[in-house]
Structure 1
Amino acid sequence: MVSIFRTSLMVLISFYSFDPSHANIICEDLPEDICAFSISGAGKRCLLETEARFAGGVDFRCRTSEIEVGRMTNYVESDACVHACGVDRRSVGISSDGLLDPDFTAKLCSPECFDNCPNIVDLYFNLAAGEGAFLPDVCAARRANPHRTMVEILSSGLVSDMLTSEEFSGAPSPSPAST
């Protein structure tokens, strides 16, 4: 009788002390509306992918990427950060293309996003690094001159150096066709 009571008590205590935030996130189990910008229990980014149907059309599936986050696990991005940073939960894959959009970089570099949404900032920090840019410098340059920032990202800084020298020389460089 005491044994049954203890077992029942242990089950009851474990049931009431279960905290869903300690659940292990498996990307493939996430619904498509919270997949993008989530991090699995293994610390890998979840990404939304498309899959063609045999009957036509497209299905969306959440998959585990090979991109490791390092400092975060079991994380689903908040709606507040999705809105503040200007990202879309229906984003398919992971791409640095958003960094070329001045409206997106304005939101990403805003204090509401940059200071409060470490998951999204970490993702785009790494994507910018893959393009040869340092996100805090991109944000600083964006505040100073939004159009030049896009050129710096596109060229990993090389074209911006040429533009700077052209600005000072007053004349464009000769094209290869004119020589």
Structure 2
Amino acid sequence: MVAALLKMVTLFALSSLLILNGAIGDLICEELPVELCAYSISDTGKRCVLENYLARKGMVKYQCKTSEVVMETMSGWIEAEACINDCGLDRNVVGISSDYLLSPNFVAKLCSQPCFSYCPNILDLYSNLAQAEGMNLRDICIRGNAVSRRALYILPKSSGGVDGGAAGTAGEGNGAIGAPVGSPLSSPAFPFADDGSTTAFASSPDNF
């Protein structure tokens, strides 16, 4: 009971820090609770990774470990809950993999305006994962945006679809691709203009 209460207090304290700022000094991956492991960065700049192992009686347990994947521009960082939600992530994900880039639904969230504008840690991770697979995150987002608009254009109006002229509002309210330029979430860093063309990227455009 005491251990559970201490764990809750620790999680609450860390979560409170996330609301104010994602940066935390002296962050050691192995000391993080598993609930905050994925997408965190140690104070040495190495990414934390959630791993599982087989314990006694066949039980699967989880632990937070320090990976060899380095984030060069950030350290001592626990990703904010807003970015976890906006980028379509799951804190319980095990390992670091590019497989999610094959999912249209995940790409739509990753390339959404809130994620691309305000979550540089996530963009750096998946940009590097894409490059390791011989892909480019910018191209992945552009293709995903084009597919999204084309799908909206061909939806029959009887099923609630809209014509091509209104496709830009499809993501309104949930951060999906195609959020209209000029909306409260709009930013010059978002990779797509309302006409589908690319605009300036967050951070350094050459990195994505």
TM surpasses 0.5: yes
CA shift digits 1:127-157 (9 cap, x unpaired) = 11011111011101111126xxxxxxxxxxx
User: 5+ unaligned residues in a row in structure 2: which ranges?
Assistant: 1-22, 149-208
Alignment-derived partner of residue 61 in structure 2: 59
Q: Specify which of 27, 31, 39 is matched with residue 29 of structure 1.
A: 31
Q: Specify which of 128, 136, 139 is matched with residue 137 of structure 1.
A: 139
Tell me which stretches of 4 or more aligned residues in structure 1 moved more than 3 Å.
none
Q: 1:22-171 alignment to 2 at 5 Å? A: 23-145=25-147
CA shift digits 1:1-20 (9 cap, x unpaired) = xxxxxxxxxxxxxxxxxxxx
Structure with greater Cα Rg = 1
Check 1:31–1:125 CA distance in 2 against 1; reply closer, same or farther (3 A cut): same
Structure 1 distance, partners of 2:93, 2:24, is 26
* Partner SS, residue 95 of structure 1: coil
* Partner SS, residue 37 of structure 1: coil
CA shift digits 1:73-97 (9 cap, x unpaired) = 0000000000000010000000001
User: What amino acid maps onto 2:76 in structure 1?
Assistant: N
Check 1:55–1:45 CA distance in 2 against 1; reply closer, same or farther (3 A cut): same
* Partner SS, residue 56 of structure 2: coil
User: 5+ unaligned residues in a row in structure 1: which ranges?
Assistant: 1-20, 147-179
Alignment-derived partner of residue 161 in structure 1: none
Structure 2 distance, partners of 1:27, 1:110, is 28
Q: Cα RMSD (Å) of the superposition?
A: 1.4
* Partner SS, residue 41 of structure 1: coil
Structure 1 distance, partners of 2:109, 2:99, is 14
* Partner SS, residue 77 of structure 1: coil
CA shift digits 1:44-69 (9 cap, x unpaired) = 00000001102211110000000011
Structure 1 distance, partners of 2:87, 2:107, is 8
